[in-house]
Amino acid sequence: MNIRDDFLLYKNDNINQNVKLSAKSKRRMRKSKADNTLKSYSADWNDFTDWCEAHEVPPLPCTAETIVNYINDLADHAHANTVSRRITAISENHIAAGFYDNNPAKDGMVRNAMQAIRREKGTFQHGKAPILMETMSLLADLFDAGDLVSIRDKALLFLGFAGAFRRSELVAIQLRDITFSPQGMVIFIPQSKGDQLGHGSQIAIPYAPDPHTCAVIAVQDWIEAANIKDGPLFRGFKRNLDPRETQLSDKSVAIIVKKYMGMLGMNPDDFAGHSLRRGFATSAAQHDLDALSIMRQTRHKSEKMVHRYIEQGNLFKENPLNRMFGPTHRKD
C-alpha cells in the first residue's frame, strides 16, 4: 500500500519529535489505532488527496469548503457510510497534524452537508448473506471425507459460526487460548475490534446435541488430526499438505466460506467471512434470544447493529401477513 508523506497517522511528527515523551511512550502511542483501521484511513486519505490535486486545492490543511465539495462529488457513487468514514479519516489526519481546535472536518458546514447526504441516500447497508443455523446442518453433510483440508475447514466454519467470530479473531486463535471442559470449550480472545484496550473476553462454546454439527468436536478432531501442540489453531498447508506453523490469513476465511457455499449450490459472491458471524446473530434472533444474550456471544458494544440483526431475523416471524393468512397456509 502506498503511504503518502502527508498521511501522519503512521508517522506522527507531533509524537516522534516531542522530546518530553519517552521512547516507550512514543511506541505505545503509535499503536493507538488498529492496523486495519490505519489501512482504511490511509486509503481514504489517498482518495481525498487525489481529488484535491485534481482540483488544485491543498489537502492539509484544507478548508471546510474543500471537504464539502469533495464529499458531494463522492456521494454521486458512494454510500453515505463510506462518505462518513472519509470525513473521519480526514479529521484524524488533521488532528495528527496538530489541528485540534481548527479541524475543518468538525466545521458545522461539513456536518450539515453530511446530514443532507444521509437524508438523500439513506444509511442502509447491503451486507453479505448470513449463513443460518439450518445451513450449517447442510454444510455438515459435505465433510464426510477424512482429509486434513476438510477437517480444518469444518472446524473453522463451525467454530466461526458458534463463536460469532470476526475473521481476524478466528485466525488469531492460539491453542493456548482454548480450554476444554465437560460442558464444551472456552476460547480466550485477548483483543478484538470491539476491545481496543485489550481487556480480553472469553467465549463459551457448548457441545451441540448432534456431533456432526458440533463445533467443539470439529475443533478437537482438527487438533488431533493435524497434531497441533502449540501455536495458531488454524493454519495453511504446505505443498505436501502438511500443516504450516504460521496462522491462516484472514482473507482465507472468506475463500473457504465461498467454496463450501458454492458446493451447496448457492452463489459464492453472496457470502464472505462475515456471513458466519452475521448468521449466528440472525439465527439467534430467529430463536427469540434477546439483544443482550446475542451481544454476550458476538461481543458487540452497541445494540444498534444487533437490533438490525434481530429485525432481519424476524422479518417473516413477526410479519402481519402470517396472522392474516391463518395457521394452515404454510407450505413445507
Q: Which helix (H) or strand (E) holds 279?
A: helix 274-286
Catalytic residue among 166, 167, 235, 299: 166
**In the chain, what's the furthest Cα-to-Cα distance?**
77
Q: Which helix (H) or strand (E) holds 201?
A: strand 201-206
Catalytic residue among 86, 235, 274, 278: 274
Distance in angstroms (rounded) separating the CA atoms of residues 303 and 308 = 9
- 14: its cell numbers: 507531533
Identify whether 274 is a catalytic site residue: yes
Catalytic residue among 86, 128, 167, 277: 277
Phi and psi of 232, rounded to 5°?
Answer: -65, 145
Strand partners, 181: 184
Catalytic residue among 193, 212, 259, 308: 193
- 99: its cell numbers: 489541528
Distance in angstroms (rounded) separating the CA atoms of residues 82 and 307 = 21
Residue 168 one-letter amino acid: S
Angle between helices 250-263 and 274-286 (to 10 degrees): 60
Q: Radius of gyration (Cα) for the chain, nearest Å?
A: 23
Identify whether 70 is a catalytic site residue: no
Strand partners, 237: 243
Residues 6+ apart with CB under 8 A from 276: 131, 157, 160, 161, 164, 165, 253, 257
Distance in angstroms (rounded) separating the CA atoms of residues 3 and 13 = 15
| Residues catalogued as catalytic | 166, 193, 274, 277, 300, 309
